[in-house]
Amino acid sequence: MATKKRYNFKGLDDIFGESVSDVVGKIENDKKLVEEAKTFVDINILKANPYQPRKIFEAEEITELAESIQLHGIIQPIIINFENEIVAGERRLRAAKQAGLSEVPVIRVNLSKLQMEEFAIIENIQRVDLLEIEEAIAYKQLSNSLKLKQEEISKRVGKSRSHVANIMRLLNLPDFVQKALLEKKLTMGHAKPLLTILGDENFLEYVFNKIIKEDITVREVEQLVKNKNKTSNSNIESKQVNPNLKSMENKIMRRLGTKVTIDSSKISIKYTSVDDLNRILDLLGFIEE
């Protein structure tokens, strides 16, 4: 009996060029490769990718996919490595289990742990329904694991550097805000104004609780932040400053997405990391494309 071919991807970039953004599609759409490499395995031996950046799987979507699988089977094989970890296709696996399948079609590829991580992150970034906070976490994974700068990440995923920088700003938000974004308890529209009050933790928490408990609109959040010194229920003591300087502070904070302080002799701009500093310098026009 002929053995299935083993596909050794020594370097994803060597095969697919500088971008690996459509690696999964290139494999799955190669009919000859699928026919030669596809095999069936016991569904219970498959394991989730340990580097999977996707945290939330919608139950309704899984149920719809399970119904489709019951009617038509799994059209695209699940891609796994030789340790039975899923490279791409976790939604398909979850739906297949729900549909009651005992085995599923797979294509095995020989990937290193580093390639597995890159594969999973970039494949997930290309999803149209990826939450902005999930995207930010994925970029952070690329930065930490592959030691990539924001400019290098932007080239890998086929997005502009400013897009990557702006999305990664969400990681400056407190953990409880990031968790709420993951759970879809508030939107990107709600989160953006919170980025301008990072230096005022008490007021930020006050606005956040108001969003969660009272379901206020994005416009109301923007108005709260804009008029924070006039908010009677915030219980926040604000410094007494020149109103013109305070107005300018708020304008700069909205533009840069970070804490800005202006006094009579200096302007202070807060940044949290080298990447965050580069993002601010980019917004100020000091970094050329």
Residues known to be catalytic: 90
Q: How far apart are alpha carbons 37 and 27 in whole angstroms?
A: 10
What tokens were used for 50?
A: 């340990």
Instruction: Residue 20: name the closest of 92, 125, 110, 145 by CA.
Output: 125
**Contact indicator for 280, 256 with CB cutoff of 8 Å:** yes
What tokens were used for 19?
A: 């971008």
What tokens were used for 194?
A: 């919170």
Instruction: Residue 93: name the closest of 72, 115, 77 by CA.
Output: 77
Distances in Å between the alpha carbon of 25 and those of 29, 44, 138, 264? 6, 25, 19, 57
Instruction: Residue 161: name the closest of 173, 148, 174, 178 by CA.
Output: 148
Which runs of consecutive H residues, i.e. helices, occur in 38-89? 59-72
- Cβ-based neighbour number of residue 39 at 10 Å: 12
Instruction: Residue 204: name the closest of 231, 244, 184 by CA.
Output: 231
Q: How far apart are alpha carbons 39 and 114 in whole angstroms?
A: 25
- CA 39, distance to chain mean position in Å, is 32
- 46 sits in the region (left: phi over 0; alpha: psi -120 to 50; else beta) called beta
